[in-house]
C-alpha cells in the first residue's frame, strides 16, 4: 500500500508540473488573442469615427447647396434663400 502511494505521488508531481505549464501556455495564447482583438477594436472604432466625420462633412447643407447650384443649376426658392426645391415635371406640364 505504501509503495502504491509512493508511486502515485511520484507520477503525480510531473503530471501536475506539466498541467501547470500547459495552463500558463494557454493563458499566454489567450492573452495575445485578446490583445489582437483590442487592437482591431480600436482600429475599427477610429475608422468608424472618420467615416462619421466624412458623412457629416459630405451631407452639410452648404455643400449640397453648392453642388446643386454648380452642377445642376438649381437656385434657392423663397425668401429664406436656403431651401432648394426640386420639381420633376412631365413633358405634358
The pLDDT assigned to 85 comes to: 63
- What's the pLDDT score for residue 40? 98
What is the spatial distance between Cα 87 and Cα 21, in angstroms, rounded to a whole number?
Answer: 74
- Tell me, yes or no, whether 17 lies in a domain: yes
Compute the distance between CA of residue 16 and CA of residue 13 in angstroms, rounded to an integer: 5
Q: Is residue 68 part of a domain?
A: no
**Domain with 21 in it:** 2-59
Task: Profile the chain (93 residues) by mean pLDDT over runs of 10 residues.
Answer: 90 93 97 98 98 92 85 71 61 57
Domain count along the chain: 1
Nearest to 51 by CA among 62, 59, 41: 59
Please give the pLDDT value at position 92.
60
Burial of 28 (0-12, 13-18, 19+ CB in 10 A): exposed
Amino acid at each position: 500500500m505504501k509503495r502504491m502511494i509512493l508511486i502515485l505521488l511520484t507520477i503525480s508531481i510531473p503530471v501536475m508540473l506539466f498541467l501547470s505549464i500547459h495552463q500558463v501556455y494557454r493563458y499566454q495564447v489567450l492573452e495575445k488573442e485578446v490583445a489582437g482583438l483590442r487592437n482591431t477594436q480600436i482600429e475599427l472604432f477610429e475608422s468608424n469615427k472618420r467615416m462619421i466625420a466624412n458623412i457629416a462633412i459630405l451631407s452639410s447643407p452648404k455643400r449640397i447647396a453648392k453642388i446643386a447650384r454648380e452642377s445642376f443649376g438649381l437656385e434657392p426658392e423663397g425668401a429664406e434663400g436656403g431651401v432648394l426645391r426640386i420639381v420633376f415635371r412631365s413633358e405634358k406640364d
